Structure 1
């Protein structure tokens, strides 16, 4: 891997083939702009092909894991068919890139995880989350359908009842509650998250590589079987970027007020 090709991801090689990957826009709470999103879409296939990496640990710089999509990126996409089509392809490469990566991935969720941050956190094979972190899928609050990973992962990890509630309301959930309902592997005090993630990575990095990777590959067929569900949800999300609700969604976020979506306006 050529680490110098990445602008918003930092890399540190640890002992026994553990690669620490840090989402690095701390001044923006690691929100994904177009550059970072593109980097996330290509880093996992590169990790999969990297002979020096046995296990990847992903965390965030500063106080957050990732605060979702940068509003400037969202604003640029709204109503722009070419950008939306490109994002649909990139989103697919991100989701399938994590699922198809043959190396174990451990997420050290050290703070808030929204949007693309939640994609990485919940699609990782093991997720160690700060107990006081906030996790959520806020697509509907922005005015777009819950795409990305949500439709395949939340019902699989929790239940259809929980998935529908959190994805259709956009409510956030604490790391402690996320562990309770099975959304993440463990919830720990924030200061212990990265240490535990690296410990687990070390266990897998020094274990039988073939057996661990084949176990992951077999288990991930649950997600592969749900591929058509992801494809449909991603297309619906991108379709919503061509509608007026998303404009009101990002405007309300910028103005720090409740949205008044055109689709919810009473008709005469």
Structure 2
């Protein structure tokens, strides 16, 4: 298990009343960042000084999704060992956040995609900039939505909105995300972190056992959707072995619209 000084993609700052501020230091999340997104909650669980965690990005980005150029070509990104490992980490991020009884607050200061969006929205309280744009985005690269959304979005914003935004992969602004209930609160960009820290300070001065017991109890509601979550991760993994994913990743790197083979009119295999 990692100690705070061993993290490379995250940095930490202690604030009054047991608040730990976490900064995401890497704009595009490589494999190391994904691992740290999963592991940090276990580190915090062992840290008696921390009562509340706040996570935010540096600058104007929360987390811009996976680093699709990390392994060079799309074919290298789709190597089976990497795909299978990615699915395992996707499960660990969400389950480790749910398992941590201490409250987690996300200050979504900029674009959030992929695993970064999973962290942002699995947080117990999410505060987002009104003009920030977010998207699940999986269908844009030809794979099933398999990070967190199938488990959480229907509870948060309702099935109709969840289906619309997960099937279309349309972007939402922070203001729209608040309107439909996908986030806790939208705020002007310049006050997102300030508001998140104010809520964290209030929770840090609150009754710790009661807060943790409430979070633990509420999270059992979310865990009731765990079978759907695990299925979505499994189906995403399968999709990464199909031609659509190769085309989706290639089109993303070439900055063009994808031409998915499965949309050519032939039967699905």
Normalised TM-score (structure 1): 0.95
CA distance in 2, matches of 1:54, 1:241: 39
Q: State the SS of the aligned residue for 1:52.
A: coil
Structure 2, unmatched stretches of 5+, are none
Offset at residue 73 of structure 1 (A): 4.6
Give how far 1:41 is off: 1.1
Q: What is the SS of the residue equivalent to 1:94?
A: helix
Q: Which residue of 1 aligns with 2:189?
A: 190
Give yes or no for contact 2:115–2:147 (8 Å, CA) kept in 1: yes
On the 8 A contact 1:78/1:242 being kept in 2, the answer is: no
Give the aligned partner of residue 229 of structure 1: 228
Q: Is the 8 A contact 1:78 1:247 kept in 2?
A: no
Give the SS at the match of 1:72. coil
| DSSP-derived class of the 2:61 partner | coil
Could you say if the C-alpha distance between residues 76 and 217 of structure 1 is closer, same or farther in structure 2, counting changes exceeding 3 Å? farther
Contact 2:68 2:77 in 1 (8 A): no
Q: Could you tell me which residue of structure 2 aligns to residue 171 of structure 1? A: 170
- Partner secondary structure for residue 16 of structure 1: coil
Residues 1-268 of structure 1 aligned to structure 2 (within 5 Å):
2-25=3-26, 30-73=27-70, 75=74, 78-267=77-266
Query: SS at 2:144's partner residue?
Result: coil
CA deviations on 1:163-214 (whole Å, 9 max, x unpaired) are: 0000001001000000000001110110000000000000000100000000
State the Cα RMSD in Å.
1.4
**TM-score with structure 2 setting the length:** 0.95
Residue 266 of structure 1 and its aligned partner are, at CA, apart by 2.9
How far the C-alpha of 1:117 sits from its partner, in A, is 1.4
Distance 1:202 1:70 in 2: 33
Pair 1:103–1:77, CA change in 2 (3 A): farther
Paired with 1:78 and 1:195, the residues of 2 have a C-alpha distance of 38
Secondary structure at the aligned position of 2:55 is classed as strand
| Distance in 2, Cα, partners of 1:77 & 1:151 | 27
Q: Secondary structure at the match of 1:62?
A: coil
Measured in 2, the distance between the counterparts of 1:19 and 1:112 equals 22
- May I ask how many residue pairs the two structures share in their alignment? 264
Deviations 1:70-94 (A, max 9, x none): 1125836644222222222211111
Contact 2:75 2:246 (C-alpha < 8 Å) held by counterparts:
no
Q: Contact 1:78/1:241 (CA < 8 Å) preserved in 2?
A: no
Taking the aligned partners of 1:167 and 1:21, their CA distance within structure 2 comes to 28
Q: Report if the CA contact (8 A) 1:252-1:258 is conserved.
A: yes
Unaligned runs of 5+ in 1: none
Partner Cα distance (2:180, 2:78) in 1: 37
SS of residue paired to 2:256: coil
For each residue in 1:243-262, what CA deviation from the matched residue of structure 2 results, as whole angstroms up to 9, or x when unmatched? 11111111111111110011
